[in-house]
Amino acid sequence: MGDEAKHKDPRSIAFDVLNRVEAGAFADILLESGLKGAGELDASLATELTYGVLRWSIRLDWSIGSFSSIKAKKLERRILNALRIGAYQLLFLTKVPPSAAINESVKLIKGGGAKKAGFVNAVLRRIDAERGSIRFPELNKDPVRHISVLYSHPEWLVKRWAGRYGAEEALKLCMANQEIPPKAVRVNTLATTRDELIKEFRGKGIEASKAAYSPDGIIIAGGRVEAKDPRYYIQDQASQIIPYLLSLAPNEVVLDACSAPGGKTTHMAQLMRNAGAIYALDLNSARLKAVEESAKRLGAGMIKTAQADAEKPLPKGLPQVYDAILCDAPCSGLGVIRRTPDIKLRRKEGEIKELSERQKRILDNLAGYLKKGGRMVYSACTFEPEETDDNIKWFLEAHRDFVLEDAKPFLLSSCGGLVDGKGFLRTFPHRHGMDGFFAARLRRV
């Protein structure tokens, strides 16, 4: 798809990505490939349309259903995505002329015949003319459905959050998930300092300031930063905080059991001043390559990669005892919806229990590789109890030689409000302006 990008308009690029996401592909990977050869303005619009539709698809489908003789869930996927792209421009993008939004969306499915093109044209024209008449579920009558439709989250997820936090906070969380997340970078202290990098950013007209929670974090409020620069790594503050919980020191031997794409792995290397060894595992060889590329770019030569399944015994060529272990477990990803909105569309409630069982198997396996007195951090970018509190409770009952330690002493004082009464680290988009993460520090006694 990338080689053809220069011959395509941004709506066609977004349309291709959305259709393939429906088939199970990942939007970020597809978009990166699809934008090769596209100009800056086209790339910006294609990105806006892709993520805008993914972010607001439930609300868009409700709006489309208000004016279509066929309900959204019964429409052919390509027709629905053409309608979504058009409706998103009409309802959310004030600078796009309605005629362009409609006509260009119709062009996307013209190859499917005049009847389908006429249908898309008619529905979009009605949305444009009668947008003020769209009626949504009322908050006081059906709060879960109101939040689900108006803030575009699946009902099962809103019901979970409303039951746990109350409808008002569930609404705030869903609202925060609909926002474009702030851009943060982690300075690579093997190459420069935070103060020096901020000074350089500002000299280039980039609005940069110190992050509140991560000692190595910089918040970018305006301007472009390059993803491949060796002096920093683009990474949310919440993710940056996790490695600090391991209280790493130079010359230790550390295991990163689920390391891809390598943000936390390379951060641990800089906290250890690139002295010692970090063994970075991942089951997927392609994702492991991303870890290797990041380590090379950032000068983290102490990182050694190995393709391995963290649920199973470690390969014989690896150390069998570690000073510290990071278990950044594969999870539902429901804490990073604002960054990857396709998660809320592909994730099913039943998967949470399956993921929890996998996380337990990983924790159970890793426990035997930690030295006595060593520490292990379990983290996940989710809020769900099955993947967080319940896993730690189960683990401590199954492994009596481990204790839970309070996370607070290992973080900046500004992070005090991020640690709850149990000693768990918890971050929320609507409370802290960061991705949603959970972490627990465990010590083998």
Strand order through the sheet with 217-222? 207-210, 217-222, 183-187, 232-234
Specify the pLDDT at position 34.
87
Residue written as token pair 């409770």: 393
Specify the pLDDT at position 7.
54
Counting beta carbons within 10 angstroms of the beta carbon of residue 135, is it exposed (0 to 12), middle (13 to 18) or buried (19 or more)? exposed
Per-residue buried b or exposed e for 423-441, using 16+ beta carbons within 10 Å of the residue's own CB: ebbbbbbbebbbbbbbbbb
Active-site residue, from 174, 258, 381, 415: 381
Are 152 and 246 found together in one domain?
no
Name the token pair of 430: 């609507």
Are 126 and 164 found together in one domain?
no
Are 156 and 128 found together in one domain?
no
Inside any domain, residue 125: yes
Query: Using one digit for the tens of pLDDT, what is the confidence trace for 17-27?
Result: 999 998 888 88
Specify the pLDDT at position 111.
80
Are 37 and 63 found together in one domain?
yes
**Size of the chain, expressed as the number of residues it contains:** 445
Specify the pLDDT at position 5.
42
Tens-level pLDDT at each residue, the chain (445 residues): 444 444 578 999 999 999 999 888 888 888 988 888 788 889 999 999 999 999 999 999 999 999 999 989 899 999 999 999 999 999 999 999 999 999 999 999 988 788 999 999 999 999 999 999 999 999 999 999 999 999 999 999 999 999 999 999 999 999 999 999 999 999 999 999 999 999 999 999 999 999 999 999 999 999 999 989 999 999 999 999 999 999 999 999 999 999 999 999 999 999 999 999 999 999 999 999 999 999 999 999 999 999 999 999 999 999 999 999 999 999 999 999 999 999 998 999 999 999 999 999 999 999 999 999 999 999 999 999 999 999 999 999 999 999 999 999 999 999 999 999 999 999 999 999 999 999 999 999 9
Q: How far apart are CA 402 and CA 406, in angstroms?
A: 13
Number of domains in the chain: 3
CATH number at residue 358: 3.40.50.150
Whole-model pTM?
A: 0.94
Query: Using one digit for the tens of pLDDT, what is the confidence trace for 105-125?
Result: 999 998 878 899 999 999 999
- At residue 283's C-alpha, the angle toward residues 277 and 285, to 5°, is 85
Contacts 24+ apart (CB under 8 A), 200-206: 201/225
- End position of a domain, from candidates 133, 151, 186: 133
Q: Active site includes 381?
A: yes
Alpha helices (H) along 315-409: 343-346, 349-367, 389-398
Q: Which domain holds residue 157?
A: 143-177
Inside any domain, residue 94: yes
CATH number at residue 45: 1.10.940.10
Residue written as token pair 């030569």: 301
Are 260 and 400 found together in one domain?
yes
Are 149 and 86 found together in one domain?
no
Are 293 and 438 found together in one domain?
yes
Are 155 and 270 found together in one domain?
no
Q: Please name every residue paired with 210 in a beta bridge, in sequence order, or none if there are none.
A: 218
Are 401 and 274 found together in one domain?
yes
Are 151 and 118 found together in one domain?
no
Inside any domain, residue 101: yes
